[in-house]
Amino acid sequence: MILNTDILEIIAIFAVTVALAIPLGRYIAKVYHGERTILDPVFNPIEKTIYKLMGIDPAEEMNWKQHLVTLLTINVIWYPITMFILMNQNWLPLNPDKIPAMSPDLAFHSTCSFITNCFQQHYSGETGMSYFSQLVVMFSMFFLTPAITLAAMAVVFNALRERTAGKLGNFFNYYVKSITRILLPISLIAAIVFLFNGMPMTFHGTHTFTTLQGDTANVARGPLAAFESIKMLGLNGGGFFGVNSAHPFENPNFFTNMIENIFHILLPIATVFALGFYLNRKKLAWMIFAVMTIGFLLLLVPAVFYELKGNPAITHMGIDNSLGNLEGKEIRFGTAASAFWSITATSSMNGATNCMHDSFMPLSGGMQLLGIMVNSLYGGVGTGILGFFVIIILTVFIGSLMIGRTPQFLGKKLGMREIKIAVIITLLHPFLSLVGTALACSFPNLTNATLGNPAFHGFTEMIYEYTSASSADGSGFAGLGNNTPWWNISCGIVILFGRFLPIIGAVAIAGILGNKIYLGDSAGTLVTDSPTFGLMVFSMIFIIAALTFYPAMAIGPFAEYFSMPH
């Protein structure tokens, strides 16, 4: 009965997510298309004021190169500001608990992480950042970084429309609307819901109280309701507290857990449907959604199964294991819901956790790791559909050559420049993840002391760290002592390359295609919105993941699984 209830809860949460994502996708398409929406009377005056203050003409068209320059410039401006705040937070305001300044290497890593929507944390939130840093850096970036990728996604949508165009809208217009029309309204509603469910919303410092045992305990607080809503919606993942959404202030009950779980994949799925509405190709959107969902289920089912089954070593000891593997999990959420959360978070590059991934069974942890490795099953806000777009380009090119048809996508002929860029982007993620792990293994004097576990599990901790950094997921396996110069600097570099190069590549491909003559579809064109093409795309994802990551999986979670008693 417990199993049936758990599975029904998972199905219900997923069904609600999809039901919300479809109309949200239609709304997102209208926002970027410039159509009238219900929020126009509220936000039109606000946006006009923003444009006027910034001296921006939202009607001024940009080509794809100008879009990229603007995107990178915004991040270059924020980088030194963020570094300065983190390295000087000890004397800056809103620091009632006297949080010390970050070291240069930790500030470097944190800045790289925050400006890229990765939010990988090598510190504990309540003891590592002041309220000022949490608000000006974390809270601001929760809005600004997903807006960057949503704006880049809008540029790609514009380039793929059925016409030839060198001008692809205005990046600042897409950027501002991503915040005002999408991120702000939804997160505001969620914040109110969270507030009424017990999340604190205060600037007071640590609260001291006496426990039932007579001990004195200090409990950190903060503006959690507003923080948590945009953290989950924007797939930022960074925790106000060290234990993230396992903390009762960040995730008080099962209802808030459901909302946060929905937010993991709400925008990634909605942007898929937004593509279909924007291009008026709904069958293409459903094909993409189907491929993503099949891959997602192939990760979810084993993870839930092995967590509900529990640790066989405990069963062999004669201990009741009917509740599954509860180690590292909050009892108020349970085993199945925690496993579901872990897969939605890693498949969507969220990085938020409501349990400790380090405590999962080997194959469950392997499914989490594989979700980050594949990096195209829903994916991040904007980046998910951009990454899938690159996979489609490769599939169209290879599939067309195999059956003797013209390599053409959405009426535009593919050339060698686009294919070369697509190949580089596709191989970049495994390159950064695997090379980073190889270097960490090559210098055991710098890394061995930081591992929480030896052998296979320790290797999984290392490759998880670099894969999470490369994909902008940000979560950790929780057994790694990663606040050292080695991990801070190496992961920071991986984060920067793993974030910006794929976005640059996807926008460049779309921009090149946008400049090409629109040919339309013909009898010799490979149909890209059919189940057959969906199977080809899925095969491409599987082959790339198997060829690049299988050896690492074999000596990590797979080897740990086979070394356990069964």
Q: Is the pLDDT of residue 390 over 70?
A: yes
- Token pair for 353: 């956790």
Are the C-beta atoms of residues 244 and 354 closer than 8 Å to each other? yes
Question: Rounded to an integer, what distance in angstroms lies between the CA atom of residue 21 and that of residue 525?
Answer: 31
What is the 3-class SS of 434-473, one letter each residue? Answer: HHHHHHHHHCHHHHHHHECCCHHHHHHHHHHHHHHHHHCC
Residues in the chain: 566
Q: Is the pLDDT of residue 1 over 50?
A: no
Are the C-beta atoms of residues 69 and 173 closer than 8 Å to each other? no
Q: Is the dihedral of CA 80, 86, 88, 93 positive or negative?
A: positive
Question: Rounded to an integer, what distance in angstroms lies between the CA atom of residue 135 and that of residue 130?
Answer: 9
Is pTM beyond 0.85? Reply is: yes
Question: Rounded to an integer, what distance in angstroms lies between the CA atom of residue 178 and that of residue 388?
Answer: 20
Q: Pairing between strand 216-219 and 412-413? A: unpaired
How much is the CA Rg of the chain, to the nearest whole Å?
23
Q: Is the pLDDT of residue 90 over 80?
A: yes
Predicted pLDDT at 203? 81
Question: Rounded to an integer, what distance in angstroms lies between the CA atom of residue 519 and that of residue 500?
Answer: 31
Amino acid in the structure at residue 14: F
Q: Is the dihedral of CA 530, 534, 536, 537 positive or negative?
A: positive
Per-residue pLDDT, averaged over 84-95, amounts to 94
Average pLDDT, the chain: 91
Sequential DSSP letters for 117-132: T----SS-HHHH--HH
Q: Tell me the pLDDT tens digit for each residue of 149-173.
A: 999 999 999 998 867 677 889 999 9
Per-residue pLDDT, averaged over 481-491, amounts to 94
Question: Rounded to an integer, what distance in angstroms lies between the CA atom of residue 204 and that of residue 208?
Answer: 12
Q: Tell me the pLDDT tens digit for each residue of 339-373.
A: 999 999 999 999 899 999 999 999 999 999 999 99
Q: Is the pLDDT of residue 566 over 80?
A: no
Between vectors from CA 123 to CA 119 and to CA 127, what angle results, nearest 5°?
120
